[in-house]
C-alpha cells in the first residue's frame, strides 16, 4: 500500500481509508489520496451487506404471485367467453 494512503496527515479517519485506497488504485496518483487530507469525519459509516443467494421464501412467493396472476387472467378470459 503506498505510504501516501497510510500517512498520518491523510489518515485521520480510518473510515475514509477504503475511499483513499480506491481513488489511488483507480487514478494512480498520490494526489488522489491528498484530497482526503482536509476531510471532516463522516457522520455515519454504513456497511453494505449483500448476498447473491436467493432467500428460501423468495422464489415460492414469486411463483405463487405468478400463478395467481395466471389464474385471474384465466378467469377473466373464461368470463368474457361465456357472456352472450
pLDDT in tens, 47-77: 777 766 666 566 678 888 999 999 999 999 9
The pLDDT of residue 68 is: 95
d(CA 30, CA 27): 9
More confident call, 56 vs 79: 79
Tell me: do 7 and 41 sit in the same domain. Answer: yes
Tell me which residue range forms the domain holding 40: 1-50
* Region of 56 on the Ramachandran plot (φ > 0 left; ψ -120 to 50 alpha; else beta): alpha
Q: Which of 2-6, 15-19, 65-69 has the lowest mean pLDDT?
A: 2-6
Tell me: do 33 and 2 sit in the same domain. Answer: yes
Tell me: do 35 and 1 sit in the same domain. Answer: yes
The pLDDT of residue 75 is: 93
CB-neighbour burial class of residue 79 (10 A; exposed 0-12, middle 13-18, buried 19+): exposed
CB 20 within 8 A of CB 33: yes
Whether the per-residue pLDDT at 8 is higher than 50: the answer is no
CB 24 within 8 A of CB 33: yes
Tracing cell 483513499 back to the chain, one arrives at: 20
Whether the per-residue pLDDT at 11 is higher than 60: the answer is no
Give how many domains the chain has, as a whole number. 2
Half-sphere exposure of 77 (CA within 13 A, CB side): 6
Tell me: do 57 and 46 sit in the same domain. Answer: no
Amino acid at each position: 500500500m503506498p505510504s501516501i494512503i497510510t500517512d498520518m496527515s491523510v489518515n485521520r479517519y480510518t473510515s475514509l481509508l477504503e475511499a483513499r485506497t480506491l481513488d489511488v488504485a483507480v487514478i494512480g496518483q498520490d494526489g488522489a489520496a491528498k484530497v482526503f487530507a482536509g476531510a471532516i469525519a463522516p457522520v455515519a459509516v454504513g456497511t453494505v451487506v449483500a448476498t447473491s443467494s436467493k432467500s428460501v421464501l423468495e422464489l415460492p412467493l414469486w411463483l405463487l404471485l405468478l400463478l395467481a396472476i395466471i389464474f385471474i387472467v384465466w378467469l377473466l378470459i373464461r368470463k368474457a367467453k361465456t357472456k352472450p
